[in-house]
Amino acid sequence: MSKSALGRGLGALMGGISSTVKSAASSPALNLPQSSTSLDNRERVELIPVSQIKACPFQPRRDFPAEAIQELAESMRVQGVLQPLIVRPSGDHYELIAGERRWRAAQLTGITELPVLIRQADDQKVLELALIENLQRENLNSIDEAFGFAQLIKQFQLKQDEIAIRVGKSRASVANALRLLQLPENLQAQIQRGELSVGHAKVILGLSSPMDQVAVAARVIREQLSVRESEELVAQIQQGKTPAAKQEGVKHAPDVHLNAMQQRLQERLGTKVLLRYRKGKGAVEIRFFSDDDLDRILSILGVSID
């Protein structure tokens, strides 16, 4: 994601904020005054009790890993809340538009008040802003992203090109994301868990039979096939040269050396690591769950972003 695209996305989220408030919202030690800071007649930043904030029914993110929330809570205990949440008034409470991870983490820290930007927004705008916030700030997984797009289409009758404009993506990206929802639910779950990449999923979508799709996905994961190897496998199946479920019942013994190395990497980095290896080639996938988590991992690896 380019810096300019990210800026546009956050600008849409924080629309109308003065430069003074932007500076305060992004500073390492956010210390907003108890009295509200007036932005216009509709928006203001203020501290409100955590108990008055409720989850949003339009939140596109469905998975909030407990480990990641705990790590964010630890960071908040040390650094404080670096950016305000975005909420809208709803009866006698406030409903989250963006910042649910921070809200959940705050409840673990014992923080009683949170800085918020209060916005007036209808349901469609809430979903759009929640998508932008997740896509450009919190790395929404591809399946939750697709469900968010589908909700905009079904509930608000938006077209794919309209969605693309609103979330800062190309129409092709929106279309490709929506195609993932054509996969069987268990394959969608594998994508959400990071077991199956979007690249592999796009290849598997070339098969019309759900049974073939499931069988190929199982082989891709079990044999750690690359996208190129998966393309070759799908092409063979389409040409009738290879049964999709070939060797599906064969159990492969785990590589104890590979597993031991993966475990050592996870212990060293303090996060989930997936080590793929096949015929002298492979990849190391390191998972992170927040910007602070990424900074910590980069520090361990001795990588400077300055």
Q: Which residues are catalytic?
A: 100
Q: Which residue has the tokens 């929330």?
A: 69
Whether the Cβ atoms of residue 130 and residue 13 lie closer than 8 Å to each other: no
Contact 189, 167 (CB under 8 A): no
Residue pair 219/233 in contact (Cβ under 8 Å)? The answer is yes
Residue corresponding to tokens 């929802």? 181
Please give the backbone phi and psi of residue 236, each rounded to the nearest 5 degrees, phi first. -65, -40
